[in-house]
Amino acid sequence: MRGGGSSAKLTSCHAVFFPWISVCAILGRSETQECAYYNSSWEKERTNRSGIEPCYGEKDKRRHCFATWKNVSGTVEVVKQGCWLDDVNCYDSNECVERKESPDVFFCCCEGNMCNERFLYVPEAPPQTTSNPFPQKPQLFSTLLYSLVPIIGLAAVVLFSFWMWRHHKLAYPAALVPTHDPGPSPPSPLMGHKPLQLIEVKARGRFGCVWKAQLLNDYVAVKIFPIQDKLSWQNEYEIYSVSGMKHDNILHFIGVEKRNNNLDLELWLITAYHDKGSLTDYLKANVVSWNELCHIAQTTARGLAYLHEDIPGHKDGHKPSIAHRDIKSKNVLLKTNLTACIADFGLALQFEAGKSAGDTHGQVGTRRYMAPEVLEGAINFQRDSFLRIDMYAFGLVLWELAARCTAADGPVDEYMLPFEEEVGQHPSLEDMQDVVVHKKLRPCLRDCWQKHTGLAMLCETIEDCWDHEAEARLSAGCVEERIGQMQRQAPVIGPEEIVTVVTMVTNVDLPPKESSL
């Protein structure tokens, strides 16, 4: 296959001949200053359709050209051409050649000015096997065969038994009481699959690493699971694939891929990328104003309310009720305008009318965010019970926001995780049981918060979320409504208005506390 320009017909002959590389090609490294440019989505993305693109980059990085195209019923359709980042797979290649066998999207890259103006498809030939001119004697072969078969069979039984034991071990204990230290990052995955290019590790979690990556001209997030966490990857993929999961306050899902083979198999989950990162990371580095707190809290509550809601008449099909089961500030991502979206559905459960929750374990999630009934192991395995567990954790997230808000007339504390004052940064399950279940303690609500109309109302909402009695907790929809009312009724105030504020707090009519769960 040979391409150039926006489209070209494939030749019908069975053999394709390629010219020798031009004698004018520069030996060794070629500096790439400019590349042929083409964008098939130019109208949608409001760019030029074609032309020449100058390449820019860091001085110590190489620059390349690339081309991507498709084979549609024998016709070459160019997707994009342009400049490409420093990539060892492109080094010292003067021609743009795709060598993979029958890819869905053809990709090639090269070094040298305008080297992507023409592109080729030359699939690598399978290795040739040569027959042994000196075959073993049949008698010796038979003897070896009869000797090895029992040994191989015994080894297979041992390996299968070990696999079953390891599969059972990995499937459950990690989910029962997750660790806080996910360990070192895995090595950078191979980048042979294009046009998705990994750039840098942005976060590490219980089930793997999250990379910032480039997909053509867009940045995306790639969450990479090791093979032992296949169940979590599969569950997250299934939750994202549920009808009606596209929502502004739920992380946008793009797709999944399997990379490498056998023991090196990696499971990729690709989503939208948000540069501000998680709410945890943002609150560590920033304080928030009252309006920013309300916006983050309300959009998080809106996403959680949508997740919890059962919508039979959704335009994409029946959207079931879903419990997240690992709500925490680390799993709330922030968009550029501080709109929140909920992420990480590896532990999520979906509920359908007339069906049980299935084979699940109650004691999952992050220890410091576990509700009292989870820590006690006394969960009623019904839909509403799981949704109320989410609401307890959401109360702690609201406390994290309040603790970093500048609206109160007092100093803003350094960022701390919920219960960090009581149990430190790495609590055991027994630590959390003692504090939350036996002593019934909760993170401290500062006295100065009560002097601000809005924060006082927020404190009441927080207490209604993390109530020890699960049935008394608010629903996410009720929290969303309350926060909207707080923002309307609570302008930023000064110290001289404190007396008025105390009176206002006692007279404000909040939305009803009754949960819709």
Active-site amino acid positions: 326
Q: What is the pLDDT of residues 129-185, one digit of tens each?
A: 555 545 444 566 667 777 777 788 888 888 887 767 555 443 333 332 333 333 333
By the 8 A CB rule, do 373 and 325 touch? no
By the 8 A CB rule, do 115 and 33 touch? no
Q: Say what the pLDDT of residue 333 is.
A: 97
3-state secondary structure of 18: coil
pTM: 0.63
Q: Say what the pLDDT of residue 28 is.
A: 44
- What structural domains and CATH numbers belong to the chain? 33-121 (2.10.60.10), 196-272 (3.30.200.20), 277-489 (1.10.510.10)
Mean of the per-residue pLDDT values of the chain:
80
* Pair of tokens at residue 316: 């994409």
Looking up tokens 């709410």 gives 279
E strands, 252-330, in order: 253-259, 266-272, 321-323
Ranges in the chain, pLDDT < 50: 6-28, 133, 135-137, 168-193, 359, 492-509, 513-517
Q: Say what the pLDDT of residue 308 is.
A: 96
d(CA 69, CA 45): 18
Q: What is the pLDDT of residues 402-413, one digit of tens each?
A: 999 999 888 898
| Cis amide prior to 187 (ω within 30 degrees) | no
